[in-house]
Amino acid sequence: MRNGYRLVCDSCFAFRRFESESADHVTLAGLRAHAALGPFVVEHEDCRPPLRITSPDDASLEAYREHYEEA
């Protein structure tokens, strides 16, 4: 079963949705080669704190929606 996750940049208040069997096996290096998420990873690879993977119920995402429109 695939689960929904979010790739989040806390520095830019940006995030992208993705699905995976488990977030335990997902790496940023692996996502860099992903057709849809790769450009997002490259765009935010110099941000500090670095990108993180979280669940859709992460409370910070609601505030991020106010500052950044998800593409």
**31-50 pLDDT per residue, tens:** 999 999 999 999 999 999 99
Mean pLDDT of 6-10: 93
Among the listed ranges 15-19, 31-35, 62-66, which one has the minimum average pLDDT value?
Answer: 62-66
| Rounded Cα gap, residues 65 and 57, in angstroms | 13
| Rounded Cα gap, residues 43 and 6, in angstroms | 16
Domain boundaries defined on the chain: 3-67
Q: What is the pTM of this model?
A: 0.82
| Rounded Cα gap, residues 29 and 20, in angstroms | 15
